[in-house]
Amino acid sequence: MAFPKAPMMMVIIIIASLVTLSLVYAAQVPQIDSSTGGRSLLQNNDIDCKSACDARCAETKRRNLCKRACGTCCERCHCVPPGTSGNEDVCPCYANMTTHGGRHKCP
């Protein structure tokens, strides 16, 4: 049984195109590194942690403690949520980091 060459060639071209498109899409999806607490490998690592933590800890009474904890979290996660509290959904790594006692580490 012989297949016509033109339709067979079209099927091969379509399959090759679909494979190429799937490879291009896979290359553009951000890769997640589990060793960094879910931080994206494509996330911008150029953050000024000192300024971000100064803003985050602006209204606390224990400013030095807040800045120290925030600085540690910022160095590990490369992000600090905006505002003085809350907004942790913006930076899941920051929100999910805990102390040895199971309490939230990051202010």
The pLDDT of residue 41 is 42
The two structure tokens encoding residue 62: 């224990």
User: Among all chains, which residue has been given the structure tokens 């490998």?
Assistant: 41
The pLDDT of residue 9 is 84
The residue extents of the domains of the chain are 49-96
Report the distance separating Cα 24 and Cα 102, nearest Å: 41
On the question of pLDDT at 83 being above 70, the answer is yes
- Partners of residue 90 on adjacent β-strands: none
- Note whether 37 and 76 are within 8 A (CB): yes
Task: Find the DSSP H helices in 29-62.
Answer: 49-56
pLDDT digits (tens, 9 = 90+) for 24-77: 766 665 544 444 444 444 445 678 999 999 999 999 999 999 999 999 999 998
- Partners of residue 39 on adjacent β-strands: none
